[in-house]
Amino acid sequence: MELAGRVAIITGGGTGIGRATSIRLAKAGAKAVVVNYSRSANEADSTVDEIKAIGAEALSHRADVADEAQVKAMVGQAVERYGRLDVLVNNAGTTRFIPHPDLDALTDDVWNEILGVNLKGTFFCCRAAAPELKKAGGAIVNVASIAAHRASGSSIVYAVSKAGIVQLTRALALALAPEVRVNSVSPGLVSSGWFSRNFGEEAAAAQEESFAKTTPLGKVATPDDVARAIVALLENDLVTGQDLVIDGGKNITYQAVV
C-alpha cells in the first residue's frame, strides 16, 4: 500500500513506538495522523506538532481503547475530519510487574485491566475501523510482544494478552480479507525510556546491556526500529496474518540460553 495521502490512527501514539510510527508515517507522505492517548496528553500534543512540522495534518485524541464507545467516537472523528481511514496501528498497552510464580496476585482487577486495554482494546479498535478500512483497502498492524511467544514478560496476564493479539491478528486477517490486511509485530526489549522512567536510568541501562549481550546482533531495539517494521508491513500488499519478531535475534537462541 502506498502511504502517500493516507489517513492513520495510532493508538498510544504520543510516546515510544507509537510516536515513532506516527512520525514515520508522516515522513512517508501520510495525509493525516490521529495520535491517540489516554494519559500522555503533553507527549501526544508534542507528537502532533512534530507531524505538522513535517507537513502532514495531525490531531491528538484522548480515548481509552478499553471503552468501546470512546473508540467509536475516535474513529468517527477521524473520518468526519479527514473523509477516510486507511491505516490503524494498535499500539496502546498496559501492564503490571508481577512475578510469574505469584498466582495469587493475578486478581480479577489485574486480568480485567490488562486484557481490557491490550486485547479487548485492540479488538474494539479493529471492529470500529473495519468498515472504513474496507472502503479504503487499508491495513492494520497490531503491536504484540515477544512475551506472546515464550514464558516471559512482566506478568502472566501481559503475556497472555499479547499472545491473544497474535491470534486475533490471524483471525482478523481471514475475517477482513481481501479488502484489509492485518499483521502484528512482537518486539523484544525496546529502549523507549519507559523502563528508566519506572525503574531509574541506571537500572534501565543495566537491563539493556544485559539483554543486548544475549542477542545475535548485540543490540536492543529502539522505537524507530519497530516503527520501520510496522511501516514495512503496511506497505507490503502481499503480507497478511503474520507476526514479525523484532528482538535482535534473541528469540532464535532462547532455548539455548535458559
CB 162 within 8 A of CB 154: no
Q: Which amino acid would we find at residue 89?
A: V
**Which entry of 37, 82, 158, 254 is annotated as an active-site residue?**
158
Residue with grid cell 482487577, as numbered in its chain:
109
CB 179 within 8 A of CB 137: yes
Q: Which amino acid would we find at residue 210?
A: S
Phi, psi of 11 (to 5 degrees): -80, 145
Give the helix/strand (H/E) hosting 173. Answer: helix 156-175
| Distance, CA of 63 to CA of 73 (rounded, Å) | 8
3-class state of residue 155 by DSSP: coil
Q: What is the chain's percent helix, strand, coil content, to nearest 5?
A: 55, 15, 35
| Distance, CA of 140 to CA of 67 (rounded, Å) | 19
CB 22 within 8 A of CB 101: no
Q: Which amino acid would we find at residue 23?
A: I
CB 45 within 8 A of CB 58: no
Residue 158 bears catalytic tag: yes
Asked whether the bond before 101 is cis by omega within 30 degrees of 0, the reply is no
Q: Which neighbouring-strand residues pair with 183?
A: 141
Q: List, by residue number, the catalytic residues.
A: 158
